[in-house]
């Protein structure tokens, strides 16, 4: 009988009916944020960087690197571009066989977790720009608001005027001109287009900076954040939208019951995020406001991505990508409060990531959906008051939802770790999130190169991780 067959034959029969094919997930490593000295505009310790990149390539067998190319360092005067230090790094990568992912960093550095250096936007941008603004009137100059996109308020080199969108596309044109050969050869593998603070398509709803020196950090985890719609031109746009909707009373400001940065969804003055109420997120007013707030953000992303996508069409070996923030706190509530203030209209009743993925899919060149927090497990989110239920964090379901949104729209999905990770449990979680059935993510970018990663034990674990990602 079948049960009496030798065990070796049983094993052969088992594996012949359970073929598990492996897949290759390329791994990139982010360079340090301060790889370029903002004072000298020179590469910091090119000898050390060269040694580390050689180790990454020859010992860990990574596919490439990702680096921020900062607006604040490359266009200090209007339409006068300086990419020389980045040329050094890209030439070094090319000589080692490393691909390069470029982030068009149209945001400021020095306001996010772990930022070791301050790189503000160019002076001429800060002097003329419009910025996301909270209800207290604080205009956050980390990133230009979408109300700057079509406003001819920025200078040209010849004294004329141009829009925010013109500034972005002029910069990308200069980048392509500088590195045309590297684009043609596919050395520059990806252009990740910066669309908001930290390079992410979102509002400045949870700023880690101070409003003024000594005033203390504005937002602390796990606060719901604040809506950022109080820039005057954005308020005018809201008024126009409310008039068109037949509800002029909805157009004066954002919700007056959404609380403050560090409130929780069920606090008394944050009733907009509660599960019941006549003017909460689920009311007619709530739907109107959130649709406008998120819709304008998606339009902003689309306006930039369509221009850059067209500019990159001549380079079939280069992909275009955009990053969405992993706002995982309060995910397991009906309102998803922190996602709403960030500009993601995602609730128990509405899948907001499908709208973003659809915009990416319909771009002039389809956009890769980049997402963070792949290393996080829901069970490990024991912040807040000691157990994850207190802030309803669920990064694993959030990764699932965003990955599903991308794949349902037939676009690539790639990942990052949100925080530095050196342990096997983090690597195992990333590997787990990298494959669903026969489908794998298009790539993983590790945050970040530094002395701690290159320490012997950490580097050995990292090498093991990269090897496993090449055979997921």
Q: Is residue 192 annotated as part of the catalytic site, yes or no?
A: no
Residue 289, SS3 per DSSP: helix
Rounded Cα distance, 279 and 286, in Å: 6
The answer to whether the CB of 154 falls within 8 A of the CB of 129 is yes
Which residues pair with residue 435 across a beta bridge?
440
Q: Assign 463 a pLDDT band (cuts: 50, 70, 90).
A: very high
Residues 70-85 have pLDDT tens digits of 999 999 999 999 999 9
Q: Assign 154 a pLDDT band (cuts: 50, 70, 90).
A: very high
The active-site residue, picked from 200, 226, 231, 334, is 200
Spell out the residues 6+ positions from residue 181 whose beta carbon is closer than 8 angstroms to its own: none
Residues 162-208 have pLDDT tens digits of 999 999 999 999 999 999 999 999 999 999 999 999 999 999 999 99
Rounded Cα distance, 90 and 97, in Å: 10
**What number does CATH give the domain 23-114+139-206+291-469?**
3.20.20.80
Q: What rounded mean pLDDT belongs to the chain?
A: 94
What per-residue confidence (pLDDT) applies to 7?
53
| H helix intervals, 245-320 | 284-312
Spell out the domain ranges in the chain. Answer: 23-114+139-206+291-469
Residues 21-74 have pLDDT tens digits of 789 999 999 999 999 999 999 999 999 999 999 999 999 999 999 999 999 999
Residues 103-148 have pLDDT tens digits of 999 999 987 666 789 999 999 999 999 999 999 999 999 999 999 9
What per-residue confidence (pLDDT) applies to 13?
44
Average pLDDT over residues 415-421: 95
Other beta carbons less than 10 A from residue 414's beta carbon? 26
Q: Assign 382 a pLDDT band (cuts: 50, 70, 90).
A: low
Average pLDDT over residues 315-322: 98
How many percent of the chain have pLDDT more than 70?
93
The phi, psi pair for 101, rounded to 5°, reads: -105, 125
Dihedral-angle region of residue 294 (phi above 0 means left; psi in -120 to 50 means alpha; beta otherwise): alpha
How many percent of the chain have pLDDT more than 90?
88
What per-residue confidence (pLDDT) applies to 14?
44
Is 406 exposed, middle or buried, given 0-12, 13-18 or 19+ CB atoms closer than 10 A?
buried
Q: Is residue 200 annotated as part of the catalytic site, yes or no?
A: yes
Rounded Cα distance, 301 and 353, in Å: 13
The one-character DSSP state at 122 is: P
Rounded Cα distance, 329 and 339, in Å: 8
Indicate if the pLDDT at residue 237 is higher than 90. yes
């Amino acid at each position: 009988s079948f049960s009496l067959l030798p065990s070796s034959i049983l094993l052969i029969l088992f594996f012949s009916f359970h073929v598990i094919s492996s897949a290759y997930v390329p791994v990139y490593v982010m360079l340090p944020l301060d790889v370029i000295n903002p004072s000298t505009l020179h590469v910091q310790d090119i000898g050390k960087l060269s040694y580390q990149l050689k180790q990454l390539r020859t010992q860990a067998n990574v596919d490439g690197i990702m680096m921020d190319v900062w607006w604040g360092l490359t266009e200090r005067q209007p339409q006068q571009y300086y990419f020389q230090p980045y040329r050094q790094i890209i030439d070094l990568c090319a000589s080692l066989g490393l691909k390069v992912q470029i982030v068009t960093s149209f945001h400021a550095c020095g306001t996010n977790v772990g930022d070791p250096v301050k790189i503000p936007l160019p002076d001429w941008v800060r002097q003329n720009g419009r910025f996301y603004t909270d209800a207290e009137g604080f205009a956050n100059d980390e990133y230009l608001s979408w109300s700057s996109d079509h406003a001819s308020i920025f200078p040209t080199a010849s004294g004329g005027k141009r829009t925010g969108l013109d500034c972005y596309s002029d910069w990308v044109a200069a980048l392509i001109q500088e590195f045309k050969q590297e684009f043609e050869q596919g050395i520059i593998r990806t252009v990740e287009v910066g669309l908001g603070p930290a390079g992410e398509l979102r509002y400045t709803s949870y700023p880690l900076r101070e409003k003024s020196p000594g005033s203390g950090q504005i937002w602390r985890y796990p606060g719901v954040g604040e809506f950022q719609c109080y820039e005057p031109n954005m308020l005018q746009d809201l008024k126009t939208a409310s008039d068109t909707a037949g509800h002029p009373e909805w157009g004066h400001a954002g919700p007056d019951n959404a609380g403050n940065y560090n409130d929780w969804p069920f606090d008394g003055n944050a009733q907009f995020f509660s599960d019941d109420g006549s003017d909460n997120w689920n009311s007619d007013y709530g739907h109107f406001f959130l649709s406008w707030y998120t819709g304008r953000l998606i339009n902003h992303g689309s306006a930039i991505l369509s221009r850059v996508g067209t500019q990159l069409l001549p380079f079939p070996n280069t992909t275009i990508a955009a990053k969405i923030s992993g706002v995982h706190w309060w995910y397991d509530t009906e309102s998803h409060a922190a996602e709403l203030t960030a500009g993601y209209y995602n609730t128990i009743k509405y899948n907001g990531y499908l709208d973003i993925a659809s915009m990416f899919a319909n771009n002039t060149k389809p956009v890769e959906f980049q997402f963070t927090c792949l290393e996080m497990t829901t069970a490990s989110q024991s912040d807040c008051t000691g157990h994850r239920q207190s802030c309803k964090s669920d990064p694993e379901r959030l990764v699932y939802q965003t990955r599903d949104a991308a794949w349902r729209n037939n676009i690539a999905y790639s990942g990052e770790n949100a925080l530095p990770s050196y342990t096997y449990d983090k690597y195992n979680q990333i590997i787990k999130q990298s494959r669903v059935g026969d489908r794998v993510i298009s790539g993983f970018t590790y945050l970040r190169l530094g002395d701690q990663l290159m320490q012997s034990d950490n580097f050995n674990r990292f090498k093991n991780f990269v090897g496993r990602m090449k055979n997921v």
